[in-house]
Amino acid sequence: MVHAGIRDSFNGSDEDADKRLSREEFLEHLHLPGQATAELPDRFFTLCDLNNDSFVDPEELQSVLTHIRNKLAAAPSPSPSSSPPVL
């Protein structure tokens, strides 16, 4: 079952209401703060298209977002005394 927040966000981006996002729909509604490169949104679409059918459905999006959340939760927290990275 897809989380209601993901479903609502997904439905707001699904312009033709076919229950899947084309690359164009996905990229039009994707906002990545601090976007490092122009190809990052396109690469994220490819990552989310788990079955390689050129569309992202709600289940695929939830699967990828859940995987990212779990990876972040498992990552060690930086110690409070550590300095931020120098850019």
Average pLDDT score over residue span 38-66 = 93
* Residue 87's pLDDT band (cuts 50, 70, 90): low
Rg (CA), the chain: 16
In a domain, 79, yes or no: no
Q: Which domain holds residue 52?
A: 1-7+20-30+37-68
Q: Is 84's pLDDT higher than 70?
A: no
Count of structural domains, the chain = 1
In a domain, 86, yes or no: no
Mean pLDDT of the chain: 86
* Burial of 45 per CB tally in 10 Å (0-12, 13-18, 19+): buried
In a domain, 60, yes or no: yes
Percent of residues, the chain, with pLDDT higher than 70: 80
* Residue 20's pLDDT band (cuts 50, 70, 90): very high
In a domain, 61, yes or no: yes
Other residues' Cβ atoms within 10 Å of the Cβ of residue 3: 14
Cα distance between residue 49 and residue 86, in whole Å: 35
In a domain, 55, yes or no: yes
Other residues' Cβ atoms within 10 Å of the Cβ of residue 17: 7
The CA-to-CA distance between both ends of the chain, in Å, stands at: 41
* Residue 30's pLDDT band (cuts 50, 70, 90): confident
